[in-house]
Chain A
């Protein structure tokens, strides 16, 4: 019998074929990364597509849940998440585009351009100063003057804080449906 946790660190050549994925997750990683992914994808797709971006990020986290549970945490979790989120966002945009193909009047040229830039910009997604700029830009977006104070706070907690609707509802002592409504309305305002 091997003693737990003792025999580990000295990986001998014979055991080197094992996947070295013994990384663990830092607390609140997902909360932080969700916020960063939303901010960065918004750089390309624009705040009017915040809902689409949030869907892409949520899908990414669920995908990580399944993949990492079995395969372990990848060496660079941030890069993994951002790459998957980018691809997911592109998938969604492409799907919208093929819909749009049938109804050319719906064509959102800005979204199309953003998607092209996003496709080309994979190397730029990991630039630390750019990532900070994304978050700052997101902060201004969330505090847009056309939004009510309550909407600003809720939107900031959701997109920049990486909090979920249930968590925000608890903080406001409000019902989840109320907060969900508030966020939907705020995103609609940003679209207009």
Chain B
């Protein structure tokens, strides 16, 4: 078993006019999916990432801080760290990720063990 990071990109723009029922209906698939991963002992961690971000980089010989950047279409909305047998296995798990249902996609990367 290796650890994989699933980066969830896009699919995050939420309409402020959603009804309470619609909001709950959006959460439910995530809850079901992550509960299943927990039941299979595959879930290690997961969290939402805030939309507003800073970028720190060298500008000539000075450190420059840019931002805040607001959300763009392919921003990372959050991540999960899971256990999987192989790249293919991790990708298969990512196929169940609900973000795919609303226009987002998942980047699957193995956490390399030293």
Contact = CB atoms under 8 A, between A and B. Distances in A.
B20 A30 contact: yes
Interface in B27-43: 27-28, 30-32, 34-36, 38-43
Interface string A58-77: 10011011111111110000
Given A7-B41, A70-B46, A34 B20 contact: yes
Most buried by B among A21, A68, A163, A167: A68
A24 B27 contact: no
B30 A7 contact: no
Interface range, A side: 35 or more
A19 B80 CA distance: 13
Interface in B73-112: 77-80, 85, 98
Interface in A17-43: 18-19, 21-25, 28-31, 33-34
A24 B85 contact: no
Contacts of B16: 58, 62
Interface in B1-56: 14, 16-24, 26-28, 30-32, 34-36, 38-44, 46-48
A4 B48 CA distance: 25
A109 interface: no
Contact of A24 (B17, B20, B32, B48): B32
A18 B46 contact: no
A164 B36 contact: no
B9 to A, nearest CB: 14
Contacts of B21: 28, 30-31, 162-164, 167
Contact of B42 (A2, A69, A71): A2
A25 B14 contact: no
Contact-residue bracket for chain B: 35 or more
Contacts of A1: 85
Contact of A30 (B24, B34, B43): B24
A33 B98 CA distance: 24
Contact of A64 (B22, B27, B47): B27
Interface of A: 1-2, 4-5, 7-8, 15, 18-19, 21-25, 28-31, 33-34, 58, 61-62, 64-73, 162-167
Given A5-B36, A31-B21, 15 more contacts: A2-B40, A4-B39, A5-B40, A19-B38, A28-B24, A29-B24, A68-B30, A69-B31, A70-B30, A71-B48, A73-B27, A162-B21, A164-B18, A166-B17, A166-B19
Which 6 residue pairs are nearest across A and B when measured between Cβ atoms? Answer: A164-B19, A8-B39, A69-B30, A30-B20, A30-B24, A34-B20
11 contacts: A7-B39, A8-B39, A8-B40, A61-B20, A65-B26, A69-B26, A69-B78, A72-B35, A73-B31, A164-B18, A166-B17
Interface of B: 14, 16-24, 26-28, 30-32, 34-36, 38-44, 46-48, 77-80, 85, 98
